[in-house]
Structure 1
Amino acid sequence: MATRRIPRPAAVAVALCAAALLAACAGASRAGCRKHVAKITDYGAVGDGKTLNTAAFAKAVADLSARARRGGAALVVPPGKWLTGPFNLTSHFTLYLDEGAEILASQDMKDWPLIAPLPSYGRGRDEPGPRYSNFIAGSNLTDVIITGKNGTINGQGQVWWDKYHAKELQFTRGYLLELLYSDNIIISNVTFVDSPSWNLHPTYCTNVTISGVTILAPVHSPNTDGIDPDSSSHVKIEDCYIVSGDDCIAVKSGWDQYGIKFNMPSQHIVIRRLTCISPTSAMIALGSEMSGGIRDVRAEDNVAISTESAVRVKSGVGRGGFVKDIFVRRLSLHTMKWVFWMTGNYGQHPDNSSDPNAMPEVTGINYSDVFAENVTMAGRMEGIPNDPYTGICISNVTAQLAPDAKELQWNCTNIKGVTSAVTPKPCPELGAEGKPCAFPEEELIIGPHKLPKCTY
């Protein structure tokens, strides 16, 4: 499907201070300005798109890591095509992609070692056992910035998608970026392209800011989620543009019995000024892996174009956990299959087993101030028998129907809620007249008040 680039708000001018410009940047103590700066070429890397630079990236990070505690360190990737296998980041560190810089992921699977599955998943997401390493990774880090002048991180995922469709993979595909047990993360002004699977996966993290990021994948590529906060707290996603073969944003917290045992919710999450194109998935999904719980998610001023659904709840018997205190307002939706979609029969389970008594709690879901046009169906709302989704509030909604719209505009089972000023008329389960839906007045404080502004 041909897509038209939607202008994003002006990208945040985020850069770093080279040592010679520290005085102009008010010194190395200023947040994000690093004292120790080096280029990847200082470590022998060649930006011809053919030379494998895995050793150069590893050497660069190791060298800068030794200096990072004394004023921070930055690795600059200049213009060129820099082919490499997976590599790790370090603390008090910036990965800076200059204009025209493109980091290319190796397409040779021998360059991708196997790593342990996530404890909240118990196994690989695609296949049992371990999983392939992630392209850019890190664990137990603090103060990490990935930024630049809109340089590109290219996962070159076609080889992975082909093998996935052909069922030739023994292990789960790696993600383009995964950070574990880390805090104070900033990802801004970078383009992520063609990930083997999920793109950005902050997991067991706190205080994460993702701002001014572009994520692109073919709309039929498998499981190329845009941004997946997973068992993470205080996450801010703003001013991003995502074209995806799966959910643009998917908030997660572990899978069935493993997520229940790990017991780390995703909470205090802000998603605003997102533009999403995903014809087969959601603009924002809550789940389906939500067994550690999801709460206090605030989504506002978001746009979806040619997307299957807006903010979708995905759960099922065996998931356990909860999805509650969800606040959504001011959505602009254009060409949608469903405006509202809740799913209580998500059937994928690790090792084909789950606890039939592990029932999810879904309550306190608020949608307000929604405009949608060219809509096939207003609402498909499916809770779980003997475990209904409750506390649903929908107010001030106009859904203009497509020429081929369904005659039945609402299909509701096992849900309870209220509505006000909703067109077309809601189903009886949502027929009670309610007040305008809630949205928290107090702003969540996440990340720095302003992103670092330093200059090379």
Structure 2
Amino acid sequence: MRTSRNYFSSIKKGILAVIVLSGSSVFAQAPQPPVVQTVSFRSDTINIVNHGAKGDGHFLNTTAINKAIEQSSLQGGGVVLIPSGLWLTGPIILKSNVNLHLKRDAILFFTDDFDQYKLIAANWEGQPAWRNQSPISGTDLTNIAITGSGVIDGNGDAWRMVKKSKLTDSQWKNLVNSGGVVDKSSQIWYPSEKSLAGSKDKKAGVMTAGTSSSDYEHIKDFLRPNLLVLTNCKKVLLEGVTIQNSPAWNLHPLLCEDLTLRRLLVRNPWYGQNGDGVDIESCKNVLIEDCTFDVGDDGICIKSGRDKSGRERGKPTENVLIRNNVVYHAHGGFVIGSEMSGGAKNIWVQDCSFIGTDIGLRFKTKRGRGGTVENIFIENINMIDIPGEAILFDMYYEAVDPVPMAGEKREKVKAEKIPVTEETPQFKNFHIKNVFVNGAEKGIFFRGLPEMNIQDITIENVTIQAKKGIDIIEASNIKLKDIIIFSKETAPVVHIENAQNIVFENLKYQEEASLLFDLYGENSKNIQVIKTDVNKVKTISKMESGLSKSVLKIKK
């Protein structure tokens, strides 16, 4: 069987020239957007049925599928076809010059037999770790693809723990009755005793000197794999397919170059722990376009390693263009961090919509990470029904869900200044323009470190309807221009704490506002308000005792 040449003509172009976004002030200071090399395949096709595969949902097709992939690669590459059917399989290993193509009514369904997945040396949340083999993986490959319009299902429910607080009473009862075990607090369900045992180790699976995979066998079930992991691969295309129900992250390209994700549907249940959509880690030259995400954790996420191991790797994620994507449920729509110790730079995000994500634009890190995130250009973002912040910069991230559960109390961050070291992270040089939000808990939130402020941020032409307005804490050189903030809480519209060189130009707010600014912190200075009507508000400013009135300067 030969696949139509017309389909593959679109991916034989050799080079995908990413458009230059001209005429936009957001991109005026940016280098040129990336040029991403794309894939090219022979049209020769191998049907997995020819290697004995059976699409009945019962026969285990691991050997047949891997033999077809290996044969194709050895013969110079081409297409490996997954035809109509329900194809039960164990781990699949990709090979260079092979396009794994799924027909529309093909489902690639991964077995829940954990014995099929070996414990291997891998990477988990930015650190070397022992994990179960991923359902689909590839290492040191060139010119690979997964295309078509079929479904890849990781059977993640067999692996994941589930919190009682994220289910209805009847769902929780049914889950407990299905098997597995519950922790002592009766608040978290685990699929097995091994999974529960692993949960008691804060660094479960993290590699330590002198250990081997056998030392982790007693917690094997807890070491959930990411569904698709590509490591050190060049020229990669993922296009058209549905990728869903991962044990952990859905898509994890690591140390890859020239990566294109196009027209994917990426799904995980919203209760899925670590159920990220895509985590681009230490990659270069990336295009993500026309994709849809509806997942259990962050939607589109940029990473580059964690703490010391990430800094030693020293590979930033860079030259990335993200455009025309929709994110439904997720902890964040577009996210950088928190594992960003190798840095991130030269990233464009354009024409994306976030619908019901916990946070819209989410930038997170913490002391100990190190790394610099810079040259980030974001334009034309729409959001509705955001339970948390529409735009958030937070340098005190502590690995908890961004929206507290009912009754949950969180301690206020204790701010203390410590020396700057290689472990000190940085966020700087962000340009955000044309953001429109209908419904959020808070409009804009900055929280930097006393020793390393969030700095050099421009936000322009933004309209937000939210419960609360704007917080700027430990930040410097921030410009907010043409901001309309309609916050239900009328006092204050803007909270400023230990911030310097902050400019508000043409700030508009609800007519019922009773307090426009409150200012705190001995380090607050040079807050300028330009071209803003301050006559509508009952009280323009409230200042902490000891602050000079000259801190706030209002100009016509």
Tell me which of the two structures has the higher relative contact order, counting C-alpha pairs closer than 8 angstroms and 6 or more residues apart.
1
Once the two structures are TM-superposed, the CA of residue 217 in structure 1 deviates from its matched residue by 1.4
> Aligned pair in 2 of structure 1 residues 119, 100: CA closer, same or farther (>3 Å)?
closer
1:362 aligns with 2:413: no
Once the two structures are TM-superposed, the CA of residue 388 in structure 1 deviates from its matched residue by 0.8
CA-to-partner distance for each residue in 1:323-344, whole Å, 9 max, x for gaps?
Answer: 1111111001001121111111
Give the superposed CA RMSD: 2.6
2: CA distance between counterparts of 1:221 and 1:301? 27
**TM-score, normalised via structure 2 length:** 0.68
Gaps of 5+ in 1: 1-17, 125-129, 349-354, 436-456
> Aligned pair in 2 of structure 1 residues 315, 283: CA closer, same or farther (>3 Å)?
same
The equivalent residue for 1:41 is: 49
Asked if structure 1 preserves the Cα contact closer than 8 Å seen for 2:160 and 2:224, the reply is no
Give the one of 330, 350, 353 matched to 1:300: 350
The equivalent residue for 1:452 is: none
| One-letter amino acid of the structure 1 residue matched with residue 470 of structure 2 | W
Asked if structure 1 preserves the Cα contact closer than 8 Å seen for 2:432 and 2:460, the reply is yes
2: CA distance between counterparts of 1:51 and 1:119? 31
The equivalent residue for 1:451 is: none
2: CA distance between counterparts of 1:27 and 1:420? 42
The equivalent residue for 2:88 is: 83
The equivalent residue for 1:326 is: 376
| One-letter amino acid of the structure 1 residue matched with residue 71 of structure 2 | D
Once the two structures are TM-superposed, the CA of residue 28 in structure 1 deviates from its matched residue by 11
Q: 1:82 is paired with a residue of what secondary structure?
A: strand
Q: How does 1:367-382 map to 2 (within 5 A)?
A: 367-382=432-447
2: CA distance between counterparts of 1:27 and 1:388? 46
Asked if structure 2 preserves the Cα contact closer than 8 Å seen for 1:254 and 1:291, the reply is yes
2: CA distance between counterparts of 1:36 and 1:244? 35
The equivalent residue for 1:161 is: 160
Asked if structure 2 preserves the Cα contact closer than 8 Å seen for 1:318 and 1:356, the reply is no
2: CA distance between counterparts of 1:28 and 1:304? 29
1:181 aligns with 2:232: yes
CA-to-partner distance for each residue in 1:125-169, whole Å, 9 max, x for gaps?
Answer: xxxxx1111111111111111101x10000110011137953524
Q: 1:134 is paired with a residue of what secondary structure?
A: coil
> Aligned pair in 2 of structure 1 residues 23, 51: CA closer, same or farther (>3 Å)?
closer
Once the two structures are TM-superposed, the CA of residue 98 in structure 1 deviates from its matched residue by 0.5
The equivalent residue for 1:443 is: none
Q: How does 1:39-438 map to 2 (within 5 A)?
A: 39-68=47-76, 72-118=77-123, 121-124=126-129, 130-148=130-148, 150-162=149-161, 165-166=189-190, 167-168=195-196, 169=198, 170-171=219-220, 172-278=223-329, 281-336=331-386, 337-347=388-398, 358-401=423-466, 405-406=467-468, 409-416=469-476, 417-424=478-485, 426-428=494-496, 429=499, 431-433=502-504
| One-letter amino acid of the structure 2 residue matched with residue 374 of structure 1 | G
Asked if structure 2 preserves the Cα contact closer than 8 Å seen for 1:317 and 1:356, the reply is no
Q: 2:311 is paired with a residue of what secondary structure?
A: helix
2: CA distance between counterparts of 1:117 and 1:42? 32
> Aligned pair in 2 of structure 1 residues 39, 310: CA closer, same or farther (>3 Å)?
same
2: CA distance between counterparts of 1:30 and 1:390? 41
Asked if structure 1 preserves the Cα contact closer than 8 Å seen for 2:131 and 2:224, the reply is yes
> Aligned pair in 2 of structure 1 residues 306, 79: CA closer, same or farther (>3 Å)?
same
**TM-score, normalised via structure 1 length:** 0.82
Once the two structures are TM-superposed, the CA of residue 25 in structure 1 deviates from its matched residue by 7.2
CA-to-partner distance for each residue in 1:308-364, whole Å, 9 max, x for gaps?
Answer: 11121111100011111111110010011211111111246xxxxxx9751012101
Name the larger-Rg structure: 2
Once the two structures are TM-superposed, the CA of residue 118 in structure 1 deviates from its matched residue by 3.0
2: CA distance between counterparts of 1:23 and 1:381? 50
2: CA distance between counterparts of 1:282 and 1:103? 28
Once the two structures are TM-superposed, the CA of residue 33 in structure 1 deviates from its matched residue by 4.4
Once the two structures are TM-superposed, the CA of residue 366 in structure 1 deviates from its matched residue by 1.5
> Aligned pair in 2 of structure 1 residues 57, 373: CA closer, same or farther (>3 Å)?
same
Asked if structure 1 preserves the Cα contact closer than 8 Å seen for 2:123 and 2:131, the reply is no
Asked if structure 2 preserves the Cα contact closer than 8 Å seen for 1:58 and 1:88, the reply is yes
2: CA distance between counterparts of 1:25 and 1:97? 14
Q: 1:288 is paired with a residue of what secondary structure?
A: coil
2: CA distance between counterparts of 1:26 and 1:288? 39
Asked if structure 2 preserves the Cα contact closer than 8 Å seen for 1:120 and 1:259, the reply is no
Gaps of 5+ in 2: 15-39, 162-179, 181-187, 199-218, 400-419, 486-492, 507-556
2: CA distance between counterparts of 1:244 and 1:118? 21
| One-letter amino acid of the structure 2 residue matched with residue 160 of structure 1 | W
Identity of aligned residues (%): 29
| One-letter amino acid of the structure 2 residue matched with residue 363 of structure 1 | K
Q: 1:115 is paired with a residue of what secondary structure?
A: strand
| One-letter amino acid of the structure 1 residue matched with residue 113 of structure 2 | D
Q: 1:392 is paired with a residue of what secondary structure?
A: strand
CA-to-partner distance for each residue in 1:52-97, whole Å, 9 max, x for gaps?
Answer: 11111121122112102xxx32100001110111111111110000
2: CA distance between counterparts of 1:144 and 1:216? 22
2: CA distance between counterparts of 1:122 and 1:83? 31
Q: 2:449 is paired with a residue of what secondary structure?
A: coil
Once the two structures are TM-superposed, the CA of residue 301 in structure 1 deviates from its matched residue by 0.4
Asked if structure 1 preserves the Cα contact closer than 8 Å seen for 2:461 and 2:482, the reply is yes
Asked if structure 2 preserves the Cα contact closer than 8 Å seen for 1:120 and 1:258, the reply is no
| One-letter amino acid of the structure 2 residue matched with residue 75 of structure 1 | V
